[in-house]
C-alpha cells in the first residue's frame, strides 16, 4: 500500500492509533468514579444528615451526584436535605428524579407529595400521595401526607379520616396526632383536639408545632394564659418559629403587654420574609 501526501500519518498510522486508543482507555478509567470513593461520599453525606448538619449533607450529596447521577437514593437524600433546609422547590425536583430512577420507591413518592404540599401544588401533591398509598397501602406516612393535602384544601373531615388511618397503622405517630388535632379544631371538635395535641407532645416532647397549635386552640377557647404558656414553650424549643412568635405577640397585646407584643410581631414578620426567600430558591 502506498502512502500519499494526503495521509500524513503514513506507515505509522496503526501504531499511533494503538497508542491513542490506549491513552483514551486510561483517561476513561481515570474519570470513572471509583466504587469506594462513591461509597465514602455516600456514607459521609448520610452521617452529616443524621447529625442534622443538613447544609454539609447537601454539599456532599452534590458531590456524590456529580460523581454518579444514577443513584436514586442520592437524589432522594439530597431532596430530604433540601427539604430540611426549607428549599422545597429544589427538594421536589430531586424527589422527582429519584422517582424516575426508581419508580417503585414509596418513600420518594411520599416525599415528593410533601414537597408539593409545602409549595401548595395541591394537584401534584394529591396524585403523588395516592400513588404512594397504591404502592403500599400500609405506609402510614403516605396516609398522613394525603391528610395534610386534604386539610390544606379545606376538606377537614376527609383529612381526619386519613389521619385516623395513619394512626391505626402506627399508634405512636406523633405527627398524625397533631394533624388530626388540627382537623378536629377546624371542625369544632375541641375537647378531643386537645387530647390529640397532648398525645403528640407526650410522644414527642420537643414537638414545637404541637405546642404552637395547641396554643392557638387555647386562644380560640379564651384561655389566654394557657395559650401564652404553649407559645413560650414552642419558642423555647424553636426560637426561629415565626408562627409561634406572631401568636405570642397577639396574646401579649390582648393581655396588655404592648411592648412585648409589638416586638414579637415585628420579629415574626422578619423571620417570615426569610422563610419565603428560602422557599423560592
For residues 83 and 113, state if they share a domain.
no
Neighbour count for residue 226 (Cβ, 10 Å): 17
Same domain, 110 and 191: yes
Does 167 lie in the same domain as 119?
yes
Same domain, 86 and 114: no
Q: Is there a domain that residue 221 lies in?
A: yes
Domain identity same for 120 and 194 = yes
Residue 203 in this model has a pLDDT that exceeds 50? yes
Q: What is the pLDDT of residue 267?
A: 93
Q: What is the CA radius of gyration of the chain?
A: 27
In contact, 81 and 241? CB cutoff 8 Å: no
pLDDT tens digits along 246-257? 999 999 999 999
User: What 8-state DSSP symbol labels residue 32?
Assistant: S
Q: Which of 82, 103, 124 is a domain's end point?
A: 103
d(Cα 46, Cα 62) in Å, to the nearest integer?
A: 12
Q: Could you give the C-alpha distances from 148 to 47, 63, 110, 129, 199, in angstroms and in order?
A: 30, 33, 12, 10, 18
The answer on 231 and 268 residing in a single domain is yes
Domain that holds residue 114: 105-205
> 123 and 194, same structural domain?
yes
In a domain, 76, yes or no: yes
Overall number of domains in the chain: 3
Question: What is residue 274's predicted lDDT score, i.e. its pLDDT?
Answer: 67
Is residue 87, in this structure, part of any structural domain at all?
yes
pLDDT tier, 36 (very low <50, low <70, confident <90, very high otherwise): low
Is the model's pLDDT at 114 over the cut of 80? yes
**Sign of the alpha-carbon torsion through 154, 157, 161, 163:** positive
Backbone angles phi, psi at 136, to 5 degrees: -150, 95
114 within domain boundaries? yes
pLDDT value for 38: 84
> Do 119 and 166 lie in a common domain?
yes
Give yes or no: residues 165 and 93 share one domain: no
CATH code for the domain in which residue 99 is found: 1.25.40.10
> pLDDT for 182-195, tens place per residue?
999 999 999 999 99
The mean predicted confidence, pLDDT, of the chain is 88
Q: Give the closest residue to 213 by CA, choosing from 174, 252, 244.
A: 244
Whether 10 is covered by a domain: the verdict is no
Instruction: Mark whether 201 and 109 lie in a shared domain.
Output: yes
Amino acid at each position: 500500500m502506498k502512502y500519499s501526501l494526503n495521509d500524513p500519518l503514513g506507515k505509522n498510522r496503526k501504531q499511533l492509533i494503538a497508542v491513542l486508543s490506549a491513552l483514551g482507555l486510561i483517561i476513561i478509567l481515570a474519570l470513572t468514579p471509583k466504587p469506594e470513593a462513591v461509597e465514602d461520599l455516600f456514607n459521609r453525606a448520610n452521617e452529616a444528615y443524621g447529625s442534622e448538619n443538613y447544609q454539609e449533607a447537601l454539599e456532599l450529596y452534590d458531590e456524590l451526584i456529580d460523581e454518579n447521577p444514577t443513584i436514586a437514593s442520592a437524589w432522594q437524600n439530597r431532596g430530604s436535605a433540601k427539604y430540611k433546609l426549607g428549599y422545597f422547590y429544589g427538594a421536589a425536583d430531586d424527589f422527582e428524579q429519584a422517582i424516575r430512577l426508581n419508580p417503585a420507591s414509596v418513600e420518594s413518592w411520599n416525599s415528593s407529595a410533601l414537597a408539593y404540599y409545602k409549595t401548595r401544588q395541591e394537584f401534584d401533591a394529591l396524585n403523588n400521595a395516592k400513588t404512594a398509598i397504591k404502592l403500599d397501602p400500609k405506609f402510614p406516612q403516605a396516609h398522613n401526607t394525603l391528610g395534610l393535602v386534604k386539610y390544606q384544601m379545606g376538606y377537614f373531615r376527609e383529612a381526619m379520616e386519613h389521619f385516623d388511618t395513619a394512626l391505626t397503622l402506627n399508634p405512636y405517630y406523633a405527627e398524625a396526632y397533631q394533624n388530626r388535632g388540627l382537623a378536629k379544631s377546624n371542625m369544632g371538635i375541641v375537647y378531643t383536639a386537645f387530647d390529640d395535641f397532648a398525645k403528640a407532645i407526650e410522644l414527642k416532647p420537643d414537638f414545637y408545632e404541637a405546642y404552637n397549635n395547641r396554643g392557638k386552640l387555647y386562644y380560640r377557647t379564651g384561655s389566654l394564659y394557657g395559650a401564652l404558656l404553649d407559645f413560650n414553650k414552642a419558642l423555647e424549643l424553636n426560637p426561629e418559629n415565626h408562627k409561634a412568635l406572631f401568636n405570642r405577640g397577639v396574646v401579649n397585646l390582648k393581655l396588655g403587654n404592648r411592648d412585648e407584643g409589638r416586638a414579637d410581631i415585628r420579629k415574626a414578620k422578619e423571620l417570615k420574609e426569610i422563610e419565603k426567600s428560602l422557599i423560592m430558591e
